[in-house]
A and B are shown apart, each in its own frame.
Chain A
């Protein structure tokens, strides 16, 4: 074959490839999630085909540590991942250009899934009782830690009078029982287990104490990806919304799906909300500044994908 023939062949192959991708115009999206019931709508949307019918080919990957999500996004091994207020703000102040693409759930006073739980014999009943105590948080500067510090400060307890220690959720129960920790900030299903086993008693639903309806988990992506794929962002939100309606109508089936993705069943449902407003992030920015975790002012509206 002459060179021109080779070129012709190559062109034909490229065209065939193009036709193939046009025929299956599904956008591939890898989604990294952490183990929390807040993200159930996305599991349901995957199982019920709500992503497929909107042209999203979603693969769900469970990530063991929430703090690895930003790096996984930057390396493009996942395109959408779970995020929190402090995580997003600290990452963007650190120079990672991430945006929120969709809400997941809020902490409501009527339906709290996060509490600070104290060891039975630690004699902690009021905020002031935390002075000099050792409290386990899932990660320093994690959302559970940051909001707990804000809660203490608002109630006149000096944050440095409390020792905050990193403790993974699965180990909190043992660490309370063994007396290593006096209290833990913990979410379901671990919270229910600790209280149910009688190892701890709930002191406060501190998220809704700080603000009722506070944004909790949500979904983030890199700005580059979100800007390049507005249709995918829209489809992701719509599929989640459809899944929330399905969960309301079919709670039992939704619980089965939850068990499949999380390995455990929780009794209730989180307060799902795909809506995310600049004011939600502004709340976290104010907390971050108040606690000295953030230095710069943020433009909250810029951190939310259109």
Chain B
């Protein structure tokens, strides 16, 4: 409790200082708005449902993109991890694609997919697939060598080997890759909305700015920060509850 109070000193001082400065006319209202106005604008957007709708739209695109990234990243990562021949064939191509900034794909995906959830999800998937794939490959490659020997001794078919041995052994580390990807997904989704896609929180923010409504813009900015914080908090909780247990069990 005491720690919480201490942690609040800085933001509370900043907000009060901001409010006082704008009331005294030191800060321009067009640029900085006023904390009280921001709260009112945020509450209004919350009550009329627009903020919630935008949040769902952003989360939907981020989630679809993330699922795509997992659906592609995990199998590809597993194959690359298991088979040296595939790795040598595919790796150069992947290494060329990987540094392409996801944001640079926005015009292309707009041209192909148009406005909407699919183009946003496509850019998110491109941004997220790498961390999932790399985590998977690394996990598979660092797998206990004896597990492969067991599979050989049992004369397992490749698919069964992947499903029964490789995936369970790599799961904990794949989850770490997915966790990194979750953070990227939200950032990229909001970016796509700010740049082109007319839906979600990023779009709401840019439209508020263009409509000369800095109060609403700040409210949305704070809300995006809050949503990001909640997601991160949820992931940490999941991590503590399941993954750390998983990872330790694997290590023993």
Q: Give me the interface of A with B, judged by CB distance under 8 Å.
A: 32, 35, 61-65, 68, 71-72, 74-78, 168-170, 173-174, 177, 189-190, 193, 197, 262-264
Contact = CB atoms under 8 A, between A and B. Distances in A.
A220 to B, nearest CB: 16
A68 B196 contact: yes
A78 B198 CA distance: 11
B89 interface: no
B197 to A, nearest CB: 9
Given A35-B211, A63-B198, A71-B107, 8 more contacts: A62-B198, A64-B210, A71-B110, A71-B111, A71-B196, A75-B113, A168-B209, A174-B28
B29 to A, nearest CB: 10
Contacts of A62: 198, 207
A72 B114 contact: yes
A75 B30 CA distance: 36
7 contacts: A65-B196, A68-B110, A74-B111, A169-B210, A174-B28, A174-B31, A263-B207
A61 B198 contact: yes
Interface residues of B, number: 24
Contact of A77 (B114, B194, B203, B213): B114
Nearest to B212: A264
A92 B111 CA distance: 15
A35 B210 contact: yes
Contacts of B212: 170, 189-190, 193, 263-264
Q: Which among B116, B194, B208, B210 has the highest number of chain A CB atoms within 10 Å?
A: B210
A266 to B, nearest CB: 11
Nearest to A197: B30
Contacts of A264: 211-212
Interface of B: 28, 30-31, 107, 110-116, 194-196, 198, 203, 206-213
Contact of A177 (B28, B112, B116, B194): B28
Contacts of A177: 28
Contact of B195 (A65, A76, A173, A189): A65
A238 B31 CA distance: 41
B224 to A, nearest CB: 16
A64 B198 contact: yes
Nearest to A64: B206
A215 to B, nearest CB: 23
A76 B114 contact: yes
B211 A263 contact: yes
B115 A77 contact: yes
B30 to A, nearest CB: 6
Contact of B211 (A61, A168, A262): A262
Contacts of A189: 212
A174 B116 contact: no
B198 A170 contact: no
Nearest to A73: B114
